[in-house]
Structure 1
Amino acid sequence: MAKSVFYSFHYDNDVYRVQLVRQIDALTGAPEITGQNWEEVRFKTEAAIQNWIDKEMNYKKAVIVLIGRRTAKRQYVQYEVERAWSMKKPLLGVRIHGLASLSDGPDSAGDDPFTALGMTGVPVFDPTQKDCYGRIDTKATFNELRRQLPYWAEQGVVRWP
């Protein structure tokens, strides 16, 4: 049975990579968010956005931060991480910069969002695979992610009292 998770990510930069993660189908996340419904949510008040996040996260078993180049600096990713921590949800990160995007190939790795928030001990997994020339191999990275994601999803840490 697939584990129900909340995916935290930077929409503008990584939405296509996130859709690739969703295609793996090893885990179930929040309903697919489209550009249209994200536009509806993001232009609401900060309180309304936080309420939406809280509602989506509430019944999930774990929170996985899908880490791209700019993820650590995103206001709502930071809110989601802090909220998951306070709710004592298992929390972990998975780097997705090695996946292809719709407009180009792989990206550069981003900062660890947990370290940026002063949190230690939260695992960050990296499926990035390289070819014999040292270039990121997006297909091999996707295959490694597909192979490892169910196992990694069980490795999240929870805040102690």
Structure 2
Amino acid sequence: MARRVFFSFHYQRDIWRVNQIRNIGEIVGTSAAGFHDASLWEEAKKKGDTAIKAMIDEALKNTSVTVVCIGAATAGRKYIDYEIQQSIARGNGILGVQIHGLKNQAGVVDIVGATPARLSAAGAPIYKYVDHATLGICIEQAARAAGR
């Protein structure tokens, strides 16, 4: 059975890196705040914080694990704390995955990003991305730790 996972990340900076990892066969991914289409994101931004938070809440539905993809600018994202807080409130397993070693569309790796404070405060495990199999195991461990 595939597990539904919410991926939280800095879209503009890290979409290329995240796309390399979120297509694991054992999971069904939901992009950051469920914004599969950039036009949805742009429309929500025009409507304000309430609309964006509603989209995040909708994207979290039916997920059992939240993976915070930690890039160079993730900790500074406006909605990162909200995504983590809502994930915890709904009982999702949660983990952080450092993605700085993955190349972007220009073939460039990034600097190590800071771990979001709320993720650290939650005691979430933090892993450096190694490969799909290891990430799949980490996701399953987070789900089990949360009783999901």
Q: Same fold (TM over 0.5)?
A: yes
Write out per-residue CA displacement over residues 59-113 of structure 1, whole angstroms, 9 at most, x where no aligned residue: 1011110110010111211110011112221111111111110134110110111
**Residue of structure 2 equivalent to 1:124:** 126
**Residue of structure 2 equivalent to 1:59:** 62
C-alpha displacement of 1:120: 4.4
Tell me how far apart the structure 1 counterparts of residues 82 and 41 of structure 2 sit (CA, whole Å): 16
**Counterpart residue type for residue 154 of structure 1:** E
SS of residue in 2 equivalent to 1:6: strand
**Residue of structure 2 equivalent to 1:130:** none
Greater CA radius of gyration, 1 or 2?
A: 1
SS of residue in 1 equivalent to 2:83: helix
- After TM superposition, the score normalised by the length of structure 1 is 0.78
**Percent identity among equivalent residues?**
34
- After TM superposition, the score normalised by the length of structure 2 is 0.85
| Cα distance change, pair 154–98 in 1 and its aligned pair in 2 (3 A) | same
Is 1:149–2:140 an aligned residue pair?
A: no
**Residue of structure 2 equivalent to 1:15:** 15
SS of residue in 1 equivalent to 2:109: coil
Is 2:2–2:28's contact at 8 Å kept on the other side of the alignment?
yes
After superposition, the CA RMSD in angstroms is 1.8
**Counterpart residue type for residue 51 of structure 1:** A
Question: Which 5+ residue runs of structure 1 have no aligned equivalent?
Answer: 128-143
Is 1:26–1:149's contact at 8 Å kept on the other side of the alignment?
no
Is 1:73–2:59 an aligned residue pair?
A: no
Matched length: 140
